[in-house]
A and B are shown apart, each in its own frame.
Chain A
């Protein structure tokens, strides 16, 4: 079983739509949680951190459910510029590293 699992998509949505991505992780001791965005042939960039209390940044809302080991990302009012791959990321518990464990990514294509 993969440590972080995501639906690879693609998700094809019209501009203005609301889209939700889900992710599950296998290690209940995972420590930190993130969503990264990766444009085609570019490096991943941090979109937002994810907390149990939920957090919102403009049109983006992220949520963590530790009991279910489930992470979500909601994008409201989709823009063409939101088209990218969204990577779910966790970090392992403890240790002296800041290793990131990535899911395979979910491809979003926003259509005009």
Chain B
């Protein structure tokens, strides 16, 4: 069975541009979360979606947005990119929400902003 898949795996953007990152959860999983991991730090929670509704939001500016589609895949969008947005963006999926479920991470999307 396929795990959590993310695309693209690597990308380079210029300051001020926009980026869209995509995630397909494990089959049967209805919850998708996004995390940002800056070099030397642990992952930081950005969003969680469950059944296409936002269930949690971390301390990130409004430039960050996300959505979940009927097939439970998800997109993370970041507008007006800053150099500090350079990071590994991780998608995680789980069966449901509210704690207790094992959470599985994708391999991530490496974003470099120049």
List residues of chain A with CB under 8 Å of any chain B CB: 4, 8, 31-32, 42-46, 87, 91, 95-105
Contacts and interface: CB of A to CB of B under 8 A. Distances in A.
Contacts of A102: 42-44
Nearest to B56: A97
Interface of B: 31, 33, 35, 40-45, 48, 50, 55-56, 58, 90, 92, 94, 97-103, 105-108
B105 A96 contact: no
Contacts of A104: 40-42
22 contacts: A8-B40, A31-B99, A32-B100, A44-B43, A46-B103, A87-B43, A91-B99, A95-B56, A96-B55, A96-B98, A97-B55, A97-B98, A97-B99, A98-B48, A98-B99, A98-B101, A98-B103, A99-B58, A100-B35, A100-B43, A101-B45, A104-B41
Given A87-B42, A97-B56, A104-B42, A45 B105 contact: yes
A105 B56 CA distance: 23
A112 to B, nearest CB: 26
A56 B17 CA distance: 48
Given A43-B106, A100-B92, 19 more contacts: A4-B42, A32-B100, A43-B107, A44-B90, A87-B42, A95-B98, A96-B50, A96-B56, A97-B55, A97-B97, A98-B33, A98-B98, A98-B100, A99-B45, A99-B48, A99-B56, A102-B43, A103-B42, A105-B42
